[in-house]
Every structure is written in structure tokens, then in C-alpha cells.
Amino acid sequence: MRQTFYSGGWLYAALVAPILILIFTFFYLPVGLAFYWSFFLEKPFGGGSQFVGLENFARVLLDAGFWSSLWRTFLFMMLAASFGILLALLLALAADRGIRTSRIARNVLIWPKAIAGASIGIVFTFIFNPFLGLFAPLNEVFPGLWNPRIDGADAFATVVIAQVWTGIPFNFIILLSGLQTIPDTLIKAAAMDGASAWRRVRDIQLPLLTPQLFLTFVLEFVQTAVDPFGLIDTMTNGGPGDSTTLLIYKIYTDGFHSYDLSGAATQTVLLMLFVIAMVLVQFRLEKRVKYER
Amino acid sequence: MIETTRGIDRTAATVLIVGMTFILSPLVIALIVATQSYDEFVAAGGISLLPGQHFIGNIVQIATETNLPRQVLNSIIVATSSAAIKCTFAFLATFALVFFESRWSKLIFALTIATVMLPLDLIVVTTYQVVANVAMPLNWLIELGWYASATPTAAPHLEWNLLDTYLGIAAPIATSSTSVFIYRQFFLSLPRAAAMDGAGPLRFLIDILLPLSKTPLIATFIFWFVGGWTSYLWPLVSATSSEMQPAIVGLSRLATSEPDRIPEVPMLMAGALFVSFLPVVLIAVMQGRIVKGLNLSEK
């Protein structure tokens, strides 16, 4: 249904101007500046800039550190997004049953939304601490079994677990609200026909939930590219070695610690393109999935 | 119900309890450790699930010996202003996009929604440069004009540094325009009769649309408030002094100060709870309203 019934003019311009000025200044300008700088060599303390063509890109693309952190970003996105969504889906399916537990679960399960990655990172650092934390007794029996300070894989796993923890609420809210719009009659009719609960999940609820699942994957991929910064900064500082240096962390250290502004801008451009590519791939995939209500 | 559901319900309840345990256990561990004194913690040699008596003491230490109370106030200011900007600007723009006939609407909608795809943290390096001198685009215009008029003197250079100010920290956080999408869904679902009595656009906006939109407005405001509160990378780089840093940044600075001795874990845990208390209570109390008002399902 069309709702338009006022005609444009000054009022229209005045209404849309604030948000346009805001996003132009603090979003499109930085995005454009990142592209601009990726073609210039910018001197750190305002010493002017010099056009260098594709030299920045060549420098970044020939740097093994860039590729390994991009690969880790990809791995992290895949692991954290899949686990996060799968877990949220299971919980949403359970909460949708309207049992007594689901009332309180709906509340508790979104609490992590209110807790910053950096603060829960501090808690998780302690919990996973090899000498003080939960696994300390295990380490006494099998020395060296668990040490995220030395073992890169352990460190990576702790960040993934923490990211899944922080990512549950949003996925859970979206998936649960999707499940609740599925007409009850469909499920009851299927139950009458003798379809088991698992069968109904597979053949009715999951197919009808495709739009929400798609939405969670898109948002989760965007979020897992940037969200882990707070976790990494408080839990591992990118280490041990550079085993948890995701691209977002590398950009931060290159830009604000090494003052390599052109390099950081170039990597920002590449990370933006990477995120956009991941989202576009998903839009393509979505077109293949047919769903009807 | 049509079938016996005991077994399924039991499975569902188990799943939910396992999920809640996963979510709650780090918080419970933090809470228990926050009640212990540093000496008790060191004596126990790590995690001990015996609550101590020092919770108040640890909180008092946080409140008196660190900058965290001031920084919590910063968090409140930054989170409130970024949420207020987000809601107001998006509400006005969406009103125009939905209820006005204009060929620009599609483009403007696309421009605002594109901000969702690239979060602020991704472009933090260049956002820093923009906020360090917001007058940058004006300088470009001036220089362009100077070139065009071939004036021999140097062009004036404007400086407006917003780093380390509340506005500079809050404004970039407010750019993500998911609200436009949410309000649009909501406006489109309203019955058309609401505007049939021939009221002018501003009258309609204030007297009809605003009261009707209370639910989504409150929900998005709380959601963005919490989002502003928990943001970390941008405040970390843009708030350069401890007096301007939000609480989350202040907490992480506490955690990294001493590398050699056993960290002051009980105090850190108390700090983590201290900076998370307000947003968690807000989310817990308002949970029903938030979920209802966000209305994220496609209909």
C-alpha cells in the first residue's frame, strides 16, 4: 500500500538534511578518504601527501602478514558465525515451545547484548587463564594441555567462544521473532498428520525461517569482521605470535601504533571490499533459495 | 495440544537451561570472584567458588581509586546522545521518505541503509582524521574557490577538532542507520486512516505519528543506548584523555596496567560488573518492550 500523500519541497529537504549531513560527514567522508589515501603516501604528522598509484596496494598485497590476518578473519567469521547462529537457532526453537523455562530464557539470553566485548573479554581472560582459571586443575594433571598464552590455537578458540557468547542475543531475537510469525495452524496440521517434532522443524519451521536465517548470516558476517576487536584487545593483544591478529586488529595497530596511515587505509579498503563481497555472495545464495509463505 | 509433548518439552527445557548456563556462568564467576579480597584470591591460587566478604570493599575501591565513576558518567552522556541523534534524525528522515512523494526517496533510503553494511569500527582510521578536523570538506571547497578565482594569497585553513569531545565520540557512533529500516517497516504497517483528516505534515508528525510510534521509539532508543555504551574501538581512539574515556575503555586500561604480578582479578571483576550493571538492568527490565518494538521479523 502506498502511504505517500504529501508533496516534496523545503520541508522534505529539511527533514532528510540532518541524517544526510551526519552520514556524509562521519560515514561517507571517512569511507571516501580511505579510498583516497590508498592511492597516496600520507606522511604521519601532516607532512603532506604524494600520489603513488597502486604502490600501497602492491605493498600490502605482497605482505604475508596481511594475507595471514585476512585468512584468520575469514576463518573467524566462518567459525563464530556458524556456531553463533546454530546455537541461537537451537535456543530459539526451544524457546518457541512456550514452556515455563522459555519466559526467563528469553530474558537471560539477551543479556550479553548489554555487556561490551572488552568487559567480558577481561572476564574470559581470567576464566581461560592457564594458571588461575577454570582449566588450571586440568593443567596440573596434564602440563601444557591448555595455554592460550603460548598456544595460538587455544588463543583463537578462546576468542571464538567469547565472540559466540556476545553474538547470541541478536541472532536469538531475530530467529525467535521469525519463528513466532509462523502460523500455529501449520504446525498443528502437520502434527495431526503425524509429523514428528523434528520433522516439523526440518520441513516447516526451517524453510519458513529462511529470511531470518539469511538476515542473521549477513549481519553476523559483518559483525564478526569488526566485533572481535574488543575481545582481542583485552584477551590476547593479537598474540601469541600473531595467531589472533585479525585484520581489524592489524589495521588498528598499523594505523595508531606504527603510524602507517596509508597502509592502514589501504587495508581498510581491502577489508571493506572483503565484507561487501561476503555480503554479496550471500545475496546471490539467497536468490537460489526459494521460499513462500 | 494435539500430541503428547512431554518429551519434546523436556528436551527444549534442557536446551534452554544449557544455553542459560553458558550465558550466565562467566557472569556468576565474575560476581563470586568480585566478592573476594586480593589476598583470598591469591591464597586460593585461582578460581574458587567460595564467595568472600569483600564485594563492597572492591566496589568502594573502584569508586574511589579509579576514574571509573567519572567514566560511567561519560558512558551515559555518549550513549544517550548517540541514541538520541540516531532516533531523532532517523525518525524525521523516515517520515519524509514514507509520507512524502519524492523521486529522491529511493536514493536517500539506499544511502542510509548502506551505512549498516560497513560498521564504524571498520573505518576507524579515516574517521579519526575526519573528526580531528571536521572542517576538512569546507577547506576543500575554499581551496577550490581560491583556485578558481586565482587569488595569489594562501587559502584560509579552518580547524575544528572534535577529538576528545562528547560530540566527536558520539556523532560517528550515531551514523549507523538501522533505525530508518525499522521505522519504515513500522510506518508502512500503519493504517492509512490515521492521516485522512487532512492535517498538515507537521501536525500529523507531532500529533499522530509520534504518539503512535512510542513502542518502536523506546525500543530503538534503549537498543542504541546499549550499543553506544558497549562500543569500544572508536572511543578508544577518539577519547584521548582519561577524563573523556567511556567506562568500557577505562576498564580495559585498568586491566593492562601491571604486567608482572598476579593481576588484581577481584577488583577487575568488580569493575567489569560495575561498568555493565546499568545496561544489563536496562535490557533485563525492558526485554519485552525491546523485542516488541524492534519488530525484526519480515511480514
Beta carbons of A27 and B175 less than 8 angstroms apart? yes
Question: Residue B260 has which C-alpha cell?
Answer: 608482572
Distance CA B44, CA B46 (A): 6
Whether the per-residue pLDDT at B299 is higher than 50: the answer is no
Beta carbons of B236 and B74 less than 8 angstroms apart? no
- Strand A6-7 and strand B100-101: pairing? parallel
Burial B257-278 (b: 16+ CB within 10 A, else e): eeeeeebbbbbbbbbbbbbbeb
CA distances from B88 to A80, A239, A249 (A): 34, 42, 33
What CATH number was assigned to the domain covering residues A63-288? 1.10.3720.10
Cα A82 to chain centroid, rounded: 11
Q: How many CB pairs under 8 A join A and B?
A: 334
How many other β-carbons are positioned within 10 Å of the β-carbon of residue A213?
A: 19
What residue of A is the nearest CA neighbor of B47? A133
Cα A64 to chain centroid, rounded: 24
Question: Partners of A7 in the beta sheet?
Answer: B101
Distance CA B231, CA B221 (A): 15
Q: Supply φ then ψ for residue A40, to 5 degrees.
A: -125, 150
Mean pLDDT of B127-143: 86
CA distances from B149 to A22, B143, B145, B157 (A): 30, 10, 6, 17
Longest dimension (CA), chain A: 76
Residue whose C-alpha cell reads 545464495 in the numeric block: A285
Ordered DSSP codes for A99-145:
-HHHHHHHHHTTGGGGS-HHHHHHHHHHHT-TTTSTTHHHHHHSTTS
Beta carbons of A80 and B195 less than 8 angstroms apart? no
Query: Cα angle at A218 between A214 and B216, to 5 degrees?
Result: 85
By CB neighbour count within 10 A (0-12 exposed, 13-18 middle, 19+ buried), where does B187 fall? buried
Question: Partners of A51 in the beta sheet?
Answer: A40
Cβ distance B296 to A173 less than 8 Å, yes or no, reads yes
Burial A7-36 (b: 16+ CB within 10 A, else e): eeeebbeebbeebbebbebbbbbbbebbee
Distance CA B242, CA B250 (A): 7
Sorting pLDDT into bands at 50, 70 and 90, what band is B208?
Answer: confident
Contacts with A, B 251-280, CB within 8 Å: 251-252, 255-256, 262-263, 265, 268-269, 271-272, 275-276, 279-280
Q: Supply φ then ψ for residue B242, to 5 degrees.
A: -60, -30
Sorting pLDDT into bands at 50, 70 and 90, what band is B258?
Answer: low
Ordered DSSP codes for B183-194:
HHHHHHHS-GGG
HEC-encoded secondary structure of B192-218: HHHHCCCCCHHHHHHHHHHHHCHHHHH
pLDDT of amino acid B95: 92
What residue of A is the nearest CA neighbor of B6? A99
> What is the average pLDDT score of chain B?
85
Phi-psi region of A196 (alpha: psi -120 to 50; beta: other; left: phi over 0): beta
Task: Kindly state the helix (H) or strand (E) to which residue B150 belongs, with its residue range.
Answer: none
- Please give the ipTM for the structure prediction: 0.88
What residue of B is the nearest CA neighbor of A46? B129
Give me the number of domains chain B comprises. 1
Beta carbons of B230 and B75 less than 8 angstroms apart? no
pLDDT of amino acid A1: 42
Beta carbons of A110 and A173 less than 8 angstroms apart? yes
Residue B194 or residue A197, greater confidence = A197
Whether the per-residue pLDDT at B194 is higher than 60: the answer is no
Q: Which residues of A touch B26 (CB under 8 A)?
A: 120, 123-124, 127, 165
Q: Is residue B10 part of a domain?
A: no
Cβ distance A268 to B131 less than 8 Å, yes or no, reads no
B85-121 residue pLDDT tens: 999 999 999 999 988 888 888 999 999 988 888 889 8
Sorting pLDDT into bands at 50, 70 and 90, what band is A151?
Answer: confident
pLDDT of amino acid A156: 92
Name the amino acid, one letter, at A255.
G
Burial B146-173 (b: 16+ CB within 10 A, else e): eeeeeeeeeeeeeeeebbbebebbbbbb
Q: Which residues of A touch B107 (CB under 8 A)?
A: none
Residue A163's SS3 state is helix
Residue A40's SS3 state is strand
Distance CA B222, CA A126 (A): 30
Whether the per-residue pLDDT at A133 is higher than 70: the answer is yes
Mean pLDDT of A46-66: 82
Mean pLDDT of B184-198: 73
Question: Partners of A132 in the beta sheet?
Answer: none
> What is the average pLDDT score of chain A?
86
Whether the per-residue pLDDT at A201 is higher than 80: the answer is yes
Alpha helices in B35-104 (DSSP H): 38-44, 55-65, 68-99
Beta carbons of A245 and A69 less than 8 angstroms apart? yes
Distance CA B80, CA B114 (A): 24
Whether the per-residue pLDDT at A91 is higher than 90: the answer is yes
**pTM metric for this prediction:** 0.90
How many other β-carbons are positioned within 10 Å of the β-carbon of residue A195?
A: 17
Ordered DSSP codes for A67-106:
HHHHHHHHHHHHHHHHHHHHHHHHHHHHHTT--HHHHHHH
A248-273 residue pLDDT tens: 999 999 888 888 888 899 999 999 99
Cβ distance A268 to B280 less than 8 Å, yes or no, reads no
B263 cis-preceded (ω within 30 degrees of 0): no
Q: Please report, for chain A, the start and end positions of each structural domain, with discontinuous segments joined by +.
A: 63-288
A63-72 residue pLDDT tens: 888 999 999 9
Q: How far is B75 from chain A (nearest CA, A)?
A: 12
Mean pLDDT of A21-40: 91
Q: Domain range spanning residue B156?
A: 17-294
Q: Is residue B4 part of a domain?
A: no
> Out of A135-149, A176-190, A210-224, B62-76, which region has the weakest mean confidence (pLDDT)?
A135-149
Beta carbons of B105 and B197 less than 8 angstroms apart? no
Sorting pLDDT into bands at 50, 70 and 90, what band is A157?
Answer: very high
pLDDT of amino acid B246: 93
Name the amino acid, one letter, at B56.
I
How many other β-carbons are positioned within 10 Å of the β-carbon of residue B61?
A: 17
User: In the 8-state DSSP scheme, what is residue A149?
Assistant: T
Whether the per-residue pLDDT at B152 is higher than 80: the answer is no
Cβ distance B9 to A93 less than 8 Å, yes or no, reads no
Beta carbons of B124 and A252 less than 8 angstroms apart? yes
Question: Partners of A163 in the beta sheet?
Answer: none
B9 touches chain A (CB under 8 A): yes
Q: How far is A154 from chain B (nearest CA, A)?
A: 18
pLDDT of amino acid B257: 57
Which CATH number belongs to the domain containing residue B279 in this structure? 1.10.3720.10
Q: Is residue B87 part of a domain?
A: yes
